[in-house]
Structures are given as structure tokens and as C-alpha cells.
Amino acid sequence: MKLFHSKIGKSDKILLAFHGMGQDFSCFQKFAQTFENQYTTYLFDLPFHGKSEVEELIITKEIWKEYLSEFLQENQIQNFSIICFSMGGRFGLATLEAFSERIEEAILLAPDGITEDPFYVLATRFGFTRKIFKYVVNHQHKFHGFANMLASIGITDHSVVKFAKMMVDSSEKREQLIKAWVGFHQLRFDMKNLTQLINNQEITMRIFMGKYDKLLPIQNVYPLTKHLENKELIILESSHARLVDKTTEFLKK
């Protein structure tokens, strides 16, 4: 696994940045430029995104730990902090679990991976349901019909359906979605054990959520935040799509 990354900043304080679904390293580029005196930020293209080259079909926590261990050694990084958004939350949580003794601060923006979405579990956990998921995603009329049905009966919000349709409006996006959803399904966590690691290492946790975020709503992080001892939970006047910019503005002030 070879992940592309960009480096911005001139500080001794190291920050690793993990973007959301369908994005690339530039997700946190403005943030890194804004705080280049406070952090030296390494901005990654995660697996199946951007310029990264990945042979593995499934990214396990062991594969991620091995990759990041080599990266930290090659770049002579001992202690560091992390920032992650949405899907990148799974990589942030995996990093916290694997390197808790080396992490100083974690900034989580609407992180995925804390609360397991039943639909995601059903679509990715089992071989036969993965085949159904791939079939539905690759057939637009069936995907749109299924998404509209979920919204009409109140299982999901119309804004989530709109976002979902945007994520599959080209063959490249459909392929990326399938690879990422299936490829990351083993990045799941025991919140009790994870929070114990975080609390034992006294890691500073700052969690930003969007008041109007229907994709990853505020209650999704409660299984983590209710056990944390050293945390800030900040609710911003933001949708999911605007949360990175809103967080940058908030921290700049």
C-alpha cells in the first residue's frame, strides 16, 4: 500500500490529516495552510482515493498499523496529533487504537466508525449482501429507487439521499464507493476499550459536529464521548459538507 501525501507547515508539532469519502488530501489543505505555524500537517490520500496505490481489497487494522508504523519511522515522527473528517474517522480511530501512547491530540469532525449504521453493516459484512450492494450501486435506476423509498418511509433524510446520489453519479465514483465501503468494513471498534486507551494516555479530544448534519448526526458520537474524560464536544452551525471549513473558521477565531 502506497498512500500519497502532501506536507504543509513548519512546526515541530506534527498533525496527520484523514479526509472523507470521495475526497482527497486537499480536504484539509486550507486548514493546514491556516495553521502552518502551529502544525506541520501531513495530508493523506486514503486508500482507493486520489493518487494512492492500493493492492489490498480489504484494509484491516493490522494493515493500517503496519503502514503507519513505516510512515512514522521513515519521517522520523515520534509523537503526533490527528485530524479526521467523516469516513476518515475510521482511520483516525484505528490510529488512536494502534498508537495511543504516541498521540497528543485528536480532532474529530463528524467521525464515521463510532456508531455502526445498520444499512452499512448489512451491505458490507456478508458476502452475499456485498454482491447485492454492488449490483444496486452499479444500476442507477435501482439505486435511485431504493434511496427514494428509504426517504419516503422515513428511514433516512432526503438530504442524505441527495448526497448518496451525488456519490454515484459517475462510473468512477461508483467504483470508488464500492471499494471503500467494502474495503473499510473491518475498521470497527470497541468503544469501551478505545476510550480506556484514550483516557489512560490523557489524549486531548476535540470533537466537532454539525447542527444540521443529517449524514452523521450528533448522537452518533455519544458512545465515544460519554466515556471520555478529557474532551470538548463543539456543535457548529453547519451541514456535513461545510464542517471542515466551519471548524477551520472556529479554530482560527
pLDDT value for 151: 57
Answering whether pTM is above 0.85, one says yes
Q: What are phi and psi of 27, to 5 degrees?
A: -50, -40
Q: Which three cell numbers stand for residue 62?
A: 493490522
What average pLDDT score do residues 8-21 get? Answer: 97
What average pLDDT score do residues 193-207 get? Answer: 97
- Confidence bin at 224 (pLDDT 50/70/90): very high
- Confidence bin at 158 (pLDDT 50/70/90): low
Question: How far is Cα 97 from Cα 116, in angstroms, rounded to an integer?
Answer: 17
**What b/e string do you get for 209-247 counting C-beta neighbours within 10 Å, with b at 16 or more?**
bbeebbbbbeebbebbbeebeebebeebebbbbebbebb
Using CA atoms in the order 150, 213, 20, 78, what is the torsion angle rounded to 10 degrees?
Answer: -140
High-pLDDT (> 90) share of the chain, %: 73
For residue 69, the tally of other CB atoms under 10 A from its CB is: 12
Cα–chain center distance at 33: 20
Domain 5-115+189-252 has CATH 3.90.700.10: no
How high does pLDDT run on average in the chain?
A: 90
pLDDT value for 136: 77
pLDDT value for 212: 95
| pLDDT tens sequence across 84-104 | 999 999 999 999 999 999 999
pLDDT value for 122: 77
- Contact at 8 Å (CB) between 172 and 50? no
High-pLDDT (> 70) share of the chain, %: 89
Cα–chain center distance at 150: 24
Give the pairing of strands 40-44 and 5-9: antiparallel
Q: What are phi and psi of 172, to 5 degrees?
A: -65, -45
Cα distances from 51 to residues 26, 70, 171, in angstroms, run 12, 19, 17
Question: How far is Cα 94 from Cα 189, in angstroms, rounded to an integer?
Answer: 8
| pLDDT tens sequence across 168-179 | 678 898 899 899
Q: Where are the domains of the chain?
A: 5-115+189-252, 118-183
- Contact at 8 Å (CB) between 47 and 113? no
| pLDDT tens sequence across 22-70 | 999 999 999 999 999 999 999 999 999 999 999 999 999 999 999 999 9
